[in-house]
Amino acid sequence: MTGGGDGHGAPDCFVSYADDGRAWAEWIAGTLEDAGYQVLLESWAPAGTHRVGWLDRAVSQARHTIAVVSDGYLRSSPAVAEWAAAWSADPTGGERRLLVTRVADRPLPGLLGQLVPVDLFDRSEIAVRASLLAALRGDRPQPEQPPGFPGRRGIFPPELPAVWNVPDQPARFVGRTAALARLDEALSRSPLVTVTGIAGIGKTSLVTEYVRQHRADLDAVWWVPAERPELIGERVRELAPAVGLPGHAEPAAVIANLGRADGRWLIVLDDAADADTLPDWLRPTEPGRLLLTSRNPGWDHLGPVVPVGPMDRAESVTLLAGRLPAVERTVADRIAERLGDHPLALDQAAHRISTGRTPAETYLQVLIDRPEVLLAQGE
């Protein structure tokens, strides 16, 4: 810990606090040091340090002063002097010399109220850590998706977790109610669950829909493409800054930090090859979850397996009707039957018909008479 300011160069942060905010100040300082920042904190200063001189150097030298605003902080004359010095050195806020955190849901008075704070209360550790590090980097909050239409349909969807990199659904999701329920039940009783099925059957779409439906219950969701096992560690390492670690941290340390946090997290390994390629360090602990998709059914020794098969006929017809509103449902039903209710085949059929390449009735007749023609065309 660098509380005494003995590191080389200007310290990155000085954490300013009063006695009733000391626990939060020490957590903030520890989190920032884990992320590679040099931090000054009075409670870490060596014995015999001249307090007034140390505080003066801390405020003047640190690139950022982080004010931990508690009830006692607002009544503390030394605390006021500390944040006021940072404010006066950067009155426009362009250098972010003063960053404000709140430990309770109370309005900030005076000049402090002019700054957008980082709220520490009523949030998970994962969410607070992500917000704190983003504020220090100067990241401008960006919506994870376009704002919902504010008209009769209401404001939707709910806010996404603080840590989130889930890909968008390529098309409107349809059905799969029973499979979603089985997946939810499996995750409720096991920290590791695998969704299995043949290529193109909808495993990835199912998992994407599941995490989007349950995003309000999660503090962190990290999506890892797993078709190349040798890159899994690199993909997990990309999560390091969000959990308070430097970018070069070992993947095992990233998972360990997630496990020590109090938030609910989920890591998705999409298109995992087999259990032998799963790293030993990638084992979730409560309340964490690891969710895999795989064409290989042999994962049951690690946890529950949720198999995914063809769609129900009603779901298939609904999918086609949504993409092809002008097509009669009887025609859609017969197309779905001929395609075995396979989601990828249905999607390809809808694309070919909707782009005007082949009318629905003609497409159906080719399926009946000469299906090999469509197969040769990759349809």
Q: Please provide the size of the chain in residues.
A: 379
Classify residue 145: in a domain, yes or no: no
Mean pLDDT of 12-28: 94
pLDDT of 152 reads 43
- The single residue listed with the structure tokens 């590191």 is 7
Same domain? 327 vs 286: no
Same domain? 282 vs 337: no
Tens of pLDDT, residue by residue over 60-117, are 889 999 999 999 999 999 999 999 999 999 988 888 999 999 998 989 998 898 899 9
Determine the longest span between alpha carbons in the chain, in angstroms.
92
Classify residue 324: in a domain, yes or no: yes
**Last residue within a domain, chosen from 59, 93, 122:** 122
Tens of pLDDT, residue by residue over 149-171, are 444 443 344 567 778 889 887 66
Classify residue 233: in a domain, yes or no: yes
Tens of pLDDT, residue by residue over 312-337, are 999 889 888 888 888 888 888 998 88
CATH code at position 301: 3.40.50.300
Share of the chain above pLDDT 70, in %: 89
Q: Is the dihedral of CA 123, 126, 127, 133 positive or negative?
A: positive
Classify residue 217: in a domain, yes or no: yes
Same domain? 45 vs 113: yes
Structure tokens at 310: 């063809």
Q: By the 8 A CB rule, do 262 and 247 touch?
A: no
Residue 192 has pLDDT above 70, yes or no: yes
Closest CA to 13 of 29, 26, 1, 35: 29
Q: Is the previous residue joined to 157 through a cis bond, with omega within 30 degrees of 0? A: yes
Same domain? 72 vs 202: no
Q: By the 8 A CB rule, do 205 and 179 touch?
A: no
Bridge partners, 269 (sequence order):
224, 292
Bridge partners, 222 (sequence order):
267
Classify residue 152: in a domain, yes or no: no
pLDDT of 146 reads 46
Classify residue 95: in a domain, yes or no: yes
Same domain? 172 vs 303: yes
pLDDT of 379 reads 52
**Last residue within a domain, chosen from 247, 280, 307:** 307
Same domain? 116 vs 185: no
Domain containing residue 28: 13-122
- Cα separation of 125 and 109, whole Å? 26
Same domain? 289 vs 361: no
pLDDT of 154 reads 39
**Last residue within a domain, chosen from 70, 104, 122:** 122
Same domain? 297 vs 347: no
Classify residue 151: in a domain, yes or no: no
Q: What CA–CA distances, in Å, run from 149 to 152, 174, 213, 268?
A: 8, 21, 19, 30
- Cα separation of 182 and 177, whole Å? 9
Residue 29 has pLDDT above 90, yes or no: yes
Element at 66 (helix H, strand E): strand 64-69
- The single residue listed with the structure tokens 């940072």 is 86
CATH code at position 34: 3.40.50.10140
Q: Is the dihedral of CA 272, 306, 174, 347 positive or negative?
A: positive
Same domain? 326 vs 235: no
Using pLDDT thresholds of 50, 70 and 90, give the confidence band for residue 22: very high
Tens of pLDDT, residue by residue over 337-366, are 888 888 888 888 888 888 877 788 888 887
Closest CA to 82 of 33, 15, 136: 15
Same domain? 179 vs 302: yes
Classify residue 105: in a domain, yes or no: yes
This prediction has a pTM of 0.68
Considering its fold, how many domains does the chain have in total? 3
Same domain? 81 vs 37: yes
Closest CA to 204 of 229, 189, 224: 224
Q: By the 8 A CB rule, do 342 and 201 touch?
A: yes
